[in-house]
C-alpha cells in the first residue's frame, strides 16, 4: 500500500475512533436505554392513577475511567407554545409537582447499575421559570478519594423520574410535552468535568420522541431563574 493512500485511510478512520471514546447520555421511558421496553415516546393516558411512568437517565462514560460526580439539567416544554398545565406546577419553592418523584438510581434495576459504591451527596430541585417550561436540576458527588471505576461501552444509571398518571378530571392531563436532557457533566476527576451533549437527549410525552424530536427548536431554553436545589443525601444500598 502506498504511503499517501495509508495516510488518507488513517485520516478517515480518526473520527470513528474519537467518537467511540465520547461519553454519551440517554433518556428513555419504561426501561433503561438499550433494553427491551425502552422508548423515547410515552403515551400518557388519563384516569388510571395507580400507574406510574418511569423516565430513565443513563450514560456511557465512553472509556474506562474514574467518576466522582455528575450534574444534570432537564427541561420540560409544552408543545405548540402552550402553557404547562397544573400537573407541572410546583406547590411552592423547589418542590416537585404533585405526582412527580425524583430519585437517584441507587435502587438496583437490571441493566441500570448505579456507578458509585461509596456514600455520596445528591441535591435536586424543580422550578418553573417560564409559562411553557419546567426544569429539574440535580447533582451527585462522592469524595475524590473514593471514585467509581466505570467501563467504556457500559450503560450506567444516574437517576429516574417517576410520573404518576393523572386523574381523568385533571386539566391538561393529556398535554403534549417534550423532555430534554439539555445539559450534563461527568466529573471523571477533580478539574476534569466535560459537558456531555451526545446521545439520545429528547423524550416525548404524548409526542414523538427521539433525538431532536418533540418539535423542539434546536436552541435550548435559558437556564435562568432556577434557584438553589434542595439538598438530599443518597447512597448505594
Tens digit of each residue's pLDDT (9 = 90 or more) over 60-115: 999 999 999 999 999 999 887 788 988 898 877 678 898 999 888 888 788 889 99
pLDDT, residue 61, reads 96
pLDDT, residue 212, reads 56
CB neighbour burial string for 105-142, b if at least 16 within 10 angstroms, e if fewer: bbeeeeebbbbbeeebebbbbbbbebebbbbbbbbbbb
Sequence ranges of the domains in the chain:
23-215
Sheet holding 120-130, edge to edge: 41-42, 202-205, 177-187, 69-78, 133-142, 120-130, 230-234
pLDDT, residue 219, reads 37
The answer to whether residues 135 and 126 touch, using CB atoms and an 8 Å cutoff, is yes
The answer to whether residues 133 and 222 touch, using CB atoms and an 8 Å cutoff, is no
pLDDT, residue 237, reads 38
Extract the residue ranges of the chain whose pLDDT is less than 70.
1-20, 93, 209-237
pLDDT, residue 137, reads 93
pLDDT, residue 226, reads 31
pLDDT by residue (tens digit) across 172-184?
888 889 999 998 9
pLDDT, residue 1, reads 46
Is the overall model pTM greater than 0.85, yes or no?
no
Among 3.20.20.60, 1.20.1370.20, 3.30.70.580, 2.60.40.680, name the CATH number for the domain at 23-215. 2.60.40.680
> Average pLDDT over the chain, rounded to whole?
80
Amino acid at each position: 500500500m502506498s504511503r499517501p493512500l495509508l495516510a488518507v485511510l488513517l485520516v478517515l478512520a480518526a473520527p470513528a475512533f474519537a467518537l467511540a471514546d465520547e461519553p454519551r447520555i440517554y433518556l428513555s421511558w419504561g426501561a433503561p436505554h438499550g433494553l427491551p421496553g425502552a422508548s423515547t415516546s410515552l403515551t400518557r393516558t388519563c384516569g388510571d392513577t395507580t400507574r406510574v411512568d418511569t423516565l430513565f437517565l443513563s450514560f456511557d462514560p465512553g472509556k474506562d475511567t474514574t467518576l466522582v460526580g455528575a450534574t444534570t439539567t432537564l427541561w420540560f416544554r409544552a408543545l405548540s407554545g402552550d402553557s404547562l398545565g397544573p400537573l407541572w406546577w410546583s406547590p411552592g419553592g423547589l418542590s416537585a409537582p404533585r405526582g412527580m418523584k425524583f430519585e437517584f438510581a441507587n435502587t438496583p434495576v437490571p441493566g441500570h447499575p448505579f456507578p458509585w459504591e461509596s456514600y455520596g451527596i445528591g441535591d435536586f430541585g424543580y422550578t418553573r421559570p417560564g409559562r411553557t417550561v419546567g426544569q429539574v436540576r440535580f447533582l451527585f458527588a462522592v469524595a475524590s478519594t473514593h471514585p467509581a471505576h466505570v467501563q467504556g461501552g457500559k450503560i450506567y444509571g444516574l437517576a429516574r423520574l417517576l410520573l404518576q398518571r393523572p386523574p381523568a378530571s385533571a386539566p391538561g392531563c393529556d398535554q403534549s410535552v417534550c423532555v430534554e436532557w439539555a445539559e450534563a457533566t461527568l466529573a471523571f476527576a477533580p478539574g476534569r468535568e466535560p459537558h456531555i451533549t451526545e446521545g439520545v437527549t429528547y423524550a416525548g410525552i404524548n409526542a414523538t420522541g427521539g433525538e431532536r424530536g418533540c418539535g423542539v427548536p434546536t436552541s435550548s431554553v435559558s437556564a435562568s431563574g432556577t434557584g438553589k436545589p434542595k439538598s438530599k443525601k443518597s447512597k448505594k444500598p
